[in-house]
Amino acid sequence: MDEKLNINQWAKEDRPREKLIQQGAFALSNAELLAILIGSGNTEESAVGLMRKILDRYHNSLNELGKANIEDLCRFKGIGPAKAVTVLAASELGKRRMEEVPKERKQIRCSKDIYELFYPLMCDLPVEECWVLLLNQSSKVIDRIRISQGGLAATQVDVRCILREALLKRAVSLVLCHNHPSGNTLPSGEDDRLTQAVRQASATMNIRLLDHLIVTDGAYYSYSDEGRI
């Protein structure tokens, strides 16, 4: 009976799109992922049920499915040229992804590495911006994210936003970095308070604050180099 229901009539946690949002793509079966692509099934089957039938025809092999042609897929009720093209395009993208050489992530070994990463972003900024650099277990860069943007002398930073980004990206450690448009590399009292707040808050999540850099045009200040972290 479930396979004949419209996908919108399913329990929310069973709908492929909602399931992906809530649990991640890895939680979905091949049929559920393909159902997201085709969007709808036919009068007898949901999109998931239809894709299960198609996969069964190809021995539940994505590799075999990718070798099908448009005419083959259009033999299934509910699959027209547009849906067939979508499935085959997704198969081709998967193949091309496997052929790509993974891009090597930059490893952070010292404050100079951090400075070289952020200097091009910050050297000409007219206002303060605060960024967080997220790192994995090997101190390689996962991502760099702007947390806030402010005025000439300061920017308001929400520690919760920093931790949220770190948790979402499964970071093991992080680095704070912000600029001083004035050219003065020395930290302010507010910079000190932010550093300690982030250090303490991240420690409760078992995430280490490695450094906090203040960047100017041609110079920088490192809390770690100064022994303050």
pLDDT at 52: 95
Q: What is the pLDDT of residue 212?
A: 98
* Predicted pLDDT at 123: 84
Q: Determine if the pTM surpasses 0.85.
A: no
d(CA 165, CA 24): 16
109-129 b/e (C-beta count within 10 Å ≥ 16 → b): eebebbbebbbeebeeeeebb
Q: To the nearest whole number, what is the mean pLDDT of the chain?
A: 90
d(CA 202, CA 22): 24
Biggest CA–CA distance in the chain, Å, is 70
Q: Considering only 15-19, 69-73, 218-222, which range has the smallest mean pLDDT? A: 15-19
Statement: residue 203 has pLDDT above 60: yes
CA distances from 210 to 5, 32, 59, 83, 143 (A): 52, 41, 50, 49, 15
pLDDT at 140: 96
Which residues does residue 62 pair with via DSSP β-bridges, in sequence order? none
Q: If you write DSSP's letter for every residue of 140-156 in order, what string do you get? A: BEEEEEEEEE--SS---
pLDDT at 6: 56
- Per this entry, what is the length of the chain? 229
Q: What percent of the chain has pLDDT over 90?
A: 72
Query: Is residue 154 scored above 70 in pLDDT?
Result: no
pLDDT in tens, 90-138: 999 998 888 776 678 899 999 999 999 999 989 888 899 999 999 999 9
**Percent of the residues in the chain that have a pLDDT greater than 70, as a whole number:** 91
